Copies of this chain bind each other. A is one copy, B any other.
Amino acid sequence: MNKTHTEGGRVVAICGGIGGAKLALGLSRQLGDQLTVIVNTGDDFEHLGLSVSPDLDTVLYTLGGRADSERGWGRAGETWAFMSAIAEVGGETWFALGDRDLAIHVERTRRLRAGESLSSIARDFAKRYGIQAEILPMSDDPVRTIVVTQDGELPFQRYFVERRCEPRVAMVRFAGVETAQPAPGVAAALSRRDLRAVVICPSNPYLSIDPVLAVPHLRDLIAGASGSVVAVSPIIGGKAVKGPTTKIMSELGRPLTSESIVRHYEGLISGIVIDTTDREDVAKLKVPCLVTETLMSSLSDRERLAEQVLAFADRCRGGSIGSPKRPQ
Contacts and interface: CB of A to CB of B under 8 A. Distances in A.
A128 B79 contact: no
Given A79-B81, A99-B81, A100-B81, A106 B86 contact: yes
A90 B102 contact: no
Given A82-B82, A82-B99, A88 B49 contact: no
Interface stretch (A107-115, A204-212, A297-305): A107-115
A48 B110 contact: yes
Copies of the chain in the assembly:
2
The interface size bin for chain A is 20 to 34
Contact of A82 (B84, B88, B103): B103
What's the dominant secondary structure at chain A's contact region? helix
Contacts of A100: 81-82, 84-85
Interface string A85-109: 1101111000000111111101101
A49 B51 CA distance: 12
A282 interface: no
Nearest to A97: B106
B49 A113 contact: yes
A166 interface: no
Nearest to A108: B89
